[in-house]
C-alpha cells in the first residue's frame, strides 16, 4: 500500500516524488519500466532556458533556473549547470520578427535577453557562419546541465526522505472501483536483447500495489499508460535523435539553436559537442533506434553553422522520444475520471528544464488537491474545450 504511486522515474516523476516527500507525503512509490535515465530524462541535451514566447513558460523557467543554480549544493551532487546562454538564430524575416517580440516579452518578465547582430554573434561564437542569419537573440542566463546526476540527485534525496523507487517495474494495468484507482498492477522487466533500442521484456508475474493517488509521469509513454485507464491522451511520441562528438577543449559558450531547421548544439562539461536537429518524417510510435539519416542531416546543418567542425568526429549517437501535444503545451493536473489520477506529460522537447519547478507545483497539487490557474490552463480538457495554449519557441 502506498499513498501515492508515481509512474515513471524520469526527472518529472522523481522531482514530484521528492517534493511530495519534502511536504511530508513520504509514503510514495515511484516505478519505472527500465533503469533510471532510461527515458527521455537520460537521453536529452540538458538545455535549460527561459527564452520562451509565453509569459507562463518564461516565469516558470526563471524559477527552474534558480533551482538549477543551487542544485549542486542543495542536493549534494554536481549537475554541472553552466550558464553560457542560449543563442537563437533566425534565418527569415518572419522568424526575426517573432524573436524580437519574444525578447520584448522576456524583458517585461525581467530577463536580460537582447537581440544581437552578426558582429556580436561572432563575438559570442567566433567560428559561427553568420551568412544568412538575419538576427539572433541571446540570454546570458540560459545554460546547460548534465542530465544524469540531476536525475540521481532527486532520486537519492527522495529516498533519503522515505520514498521507494523501483526500477525495472512496469505498470501493466490498474484496479478501479467507483471511479477511483484502488491499485496498480506492476510487473518486473528486463532489457530486451532483440534490438538496439533499449526496449524491455516481461521478467515475471504482475502483482497489485494498493494506492490512494496515481501520478502519470511516463513521458512519451503516457498515452499508453493512460489508455490502460480508458483515458485518451492526444500526445504523440516523436523520436528525437542526438549525438556527441569527441571531447574538445572548451571553445563554445552558449547553446546555439536555429528554429528554422531545428539545429541545436552546445558543449558539455566534458567538452563534447552535443546536439540534434529536426528530422522528418520519423517512425510512428515509441522508437529509440538511431538512424544514419539523422547523422547526415545534423552534420550538414552543424557544419553549415560552424564550418571548422567538419573535421571533428562524432563519438556516439542515440535517440529518445519527445512527447508532443497538439498545441505544444503540456498536459498537467487531475482529470475528471478517475478522480485520483494526476497527469504530468506532454512536455515536448523541454520537459527536463521544466521539471524542477513543475515537481514543486505538482506535489502541491497532489497533496492539497487544489487547482491553480496554471493547472486549469494546462488541463487535459482544454482540447475538448478548444481552449489551446500557444508557444512558438520549440526546438526540433
Partner 1 sequence: MAPRRILPTDLPPGSPLARRLAALGSSGRVTVEHDGAPVAAVEGEPLAVSLLAAGQLTLARSVKYHRPRGAMCLRGDCDGCLVRVDGVPNVMSCQTPARAGMVAQSQNAFPTAGIDVLRVTDWFFPRHLDHHHLLVKFGGALNRTMQVFARRMAGLGTLPDAIATFPRSEILDVDALVVGAGTSGVACANALARGGARVMLVDEREGPGGMRRDDPLDDGAYPGCDPAVMVRYGSGAVATYDDETLVIHEGRGVTVRARVRVFATGARESVGVFPQSDVPGVFTARAFALALCHGVLAGERVALVGDGLFARSIAATLGERVTHSPGAAVVEALGGRAVKGATLREGGREWTVKCDALVVDGELGAAYELAGQAGASVLWSDGRQCFVPESDAEGATSREGVYVAGSLRWGRIDHDARARDGAAVGARALRDLRGEGR
Partner 2 sequence: MTAKAMLCRCEDVTLDEVMEALEAGHQDIESVKRYTGFGTGWCQGKQCVVACARVLAKATGKAPQLPITPRPPLHPVALGVLASLGDSEEG
Ligand X SMILES: Cc1cc2nc3c(=O)[nH]c(=O)nc-3n(C[C@H](O)[C@H](O)[C@H](O)COP(=O)(O)OP(=O)(O)OC[C@H]3O[C@@H](n4cnc5c(N)ncnc54)[C@H](O)[C@@H]3O)c2cc1C
Residues of the shown chain interacting with partner 1 in the complex, contacts defined by CB under 8 A: 69-70, 72-73, 76-78, 80-82, 127, 149, 152, 193-196, 246-251, 269-271, 289-292, 307-313
- Judged by CB under 6 A, does residue 240 bind ligand X? yes
Under 8 Å between Cβ of 137 and 51: yes
Instruction: Considering the complex, state which of residue 34 and residue 325 has its C-beta at the smaller distance from partner 1.
Output: 34
d(C-alpha 366, C-alpha 18), whole Å: 13
d(C-alpha 58, C-alpha 99), whole Å: 14
- Judged by CB under 6 A, does residue 351 bind ligand X? yes
3-state secondary structure of 63: helix
As given in the structure block, the three cell numbers for residue 362 are: 505538482
**Contacts to partner 2 from residues 171-230, by CB under 8 A:** 190-191, 193, 196-198
- Judged by CB under 8 A, does residue 299 bind partner 2? yes
Neighbours of 25 (CB within 10 A): 20
In eight-state DSSP terms, residue 312 is P
Out of ligand X, partner 2, partner 1, none, which partner does residue 282 contact, by CB within 5 to 8 A per kind? partner 2
State the first-to-last Cα distance of the chain, in angstroms, to the nearest integer.
41
d(C-alpha 307, C-alpha 352), whole Å: 30
Instruction: Considering the complex, state which of residue 86 and residue 347 has its C-beta at the smaller distance from partner 1.
Output: 86
- Judged by CB under 8 A, does residue 339 bind partner 2? no
- Judged by CB under 6 A, does residue 136 bind ligand X? no
Pairing relationship of beta strands 180-191 and 86-90 according to DSSP bridges: unpaired
Least CB distance from residue 283 to partner 2, whole Å? 5
3-state secondary structure of 347: coil
Under 8 Å between Cβ of 262 and 245: no
- List beta partners, residue 183: 175, 210
Out of partner 1, ligand X, partner 2, none, which partner does residue 302 contact, by CB within 5 to 8 A per kind? partner 2
- Judged by CB under 8 A, does residue 129 bind partner 2? no
d(C-alpha 50, C-alpha 65), whole Å: 8
- Judged by CB under 8 A, does residue 383 bind partner 2? no
Please state the separation of Cα 24 from the chain's center in Å.
26
Least CB distance from residue 245 to partner 2, whole Å? 7
DSSP string, 7-21: E--SHHHHHHHHHHH
- Judged by CB under 6 A, does residue 360 bind ligand X? no
3-state secondary structure of 190: strand
- Judged by CB under 8 A, does residue 37 bind partner 2? yes
User: With contacts defined by CB under 8 A, how many residues of the chain interact with partner 2?
Assistant: 42
Out of partner 2, partner 1, ligand X, none, which partner does residue 316 contact, by CB within 5 to 8 A per kind? partner 2
Element (H, E) at 267: strand 263-267
Among 4, 12, 89, 305, binds ligand X (CB under 6 A): 12
3-state secondary structure of 225: helix
Out of ligand X, partner 1, partner 2, none, which partner does residue 394 contact, by CB within 5 to 8 A per kind? none
Residues engaged in binding partner 2 (CB under 8 A): 35-38, 42, 148, 152, 167-168, 190-191, 193, 196-198, 245-247, 281-283, 290-293, 295-296, 298-300, 302-303, 309-318
Residues engaged in binding ligand X (CB under 6 A): 7-13, 31-34, 38-41, 43-47, 170-171, 217-221, 225, 240, 242, 276, 320-322, 347, 349-353
Amino acid at each position: 500500500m502506498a499513498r501515492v504511486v508515481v509512474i515513471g522515474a524520469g526527472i518529472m516523476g522523481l522531482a514530484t516524488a521528492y517534493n511530495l516527500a519534502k511536504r511530508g507525503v513520504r509514503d510514495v512509490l515511484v516505478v519505472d519500466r527500465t533503469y533510471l535515465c532510461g527515458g527521455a530524462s537520460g537521453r536529452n541535451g540538458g538545455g535549460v532556458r527561459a527564452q520562451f514566447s509565453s509569459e507562463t513558460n518564461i516565469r516558470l523557467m526563471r524559477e527552474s533556473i534558480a533551482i538549477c543554480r543551487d542544485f549542486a549544493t542543495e542536493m549534494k551532487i554536481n549537475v554541472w549547470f553552466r550558464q553560457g546562454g542560449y543563442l537563437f538564430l533566425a534565418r527569415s524575416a518572419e522568424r526575426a520578427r517573432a524573436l524580437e517580440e519574444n525578447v520584448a516579452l522576456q524583458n517585461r518578465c525581467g530577463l536580460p535577453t537582447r537581440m544581437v547582430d552578426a558582429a556580436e554573434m561572432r563575438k559570442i561564437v567566433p567560428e559561427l557562419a553568420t551568412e544568412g542569419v538575419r538576427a539572433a537573440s541571446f540570454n546570458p542566463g540560459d545554460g546547460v546541465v548534465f542530465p544524469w546526476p540531476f536525475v540521481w540527485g532527486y532520486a537519492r534525496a527522495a529516498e533519503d526522505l522515505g520514498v521507494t523507487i523501483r526500477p525495472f517495474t512496469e505498470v501493466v494495468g490498474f484496479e478501479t472501483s467507483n471511479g477511483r484507482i484502488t491499485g496498480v498492477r506492476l510487473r518486473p522487466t528486463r532489457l530486451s536483447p532483440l534490438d538496439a533500442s533499449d526496449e524491455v521484456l516481461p521478467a515475471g508475474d504482475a502483482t497489485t500495489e494498493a494506492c490512494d493517488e496515481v501520478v502519470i509521469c511516463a513521458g512519451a509513454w503516457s498515452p499508453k499508460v493512460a489508455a490502460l485507464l480508458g483515458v485518451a491522451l492526444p500526445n504523440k511520441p516523436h523520436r528525437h535523435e542526438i549525438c556527441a562528438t569527441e571531447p574538445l577543449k572548451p571553445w563554445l559558450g552558449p547553446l546555439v539553436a536555429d528554429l528554422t531547421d531545428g539545429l541545436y548544439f552546445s558543449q558539455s562539461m566534458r567538452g563534447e559537442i552535443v546536439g540534434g536537429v529536426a528530422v522528418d518524417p520519423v517512425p510512428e510510435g515509441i522508437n529509440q533506434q538511431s538512424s544514419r539519416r539523422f547523422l547526415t542531416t545534423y552534420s550538414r546543418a552543424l557544419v553549415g553553422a560552424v564550418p571548422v567542425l567538419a573535421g571533428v568526429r562524432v563519438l556516439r549517437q542515440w535517440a529518445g522520444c519527445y512527447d508532443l501535444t497538439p498545441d505544444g503545451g503540456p498536459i498537467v493536473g487531475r482529470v475528471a475520471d478517475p478522480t485520483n489520477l494526476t497527469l504530468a506529460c506532454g512536455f515536448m522537447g523541454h520537459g527536463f528544464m521544466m521539471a524542477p519547478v513543475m515537481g514543486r507545483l505538482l506535489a502541491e497539487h497532489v497533496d492539497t488537491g487544489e487547482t491553480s490557474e496554471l493547472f486549469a490552463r494546462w488541463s487535459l480538457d482544454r482540447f475538448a474545450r478548444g481552449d489551446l495554449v500557444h508557444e512558438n519557441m520549440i526546438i526540433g
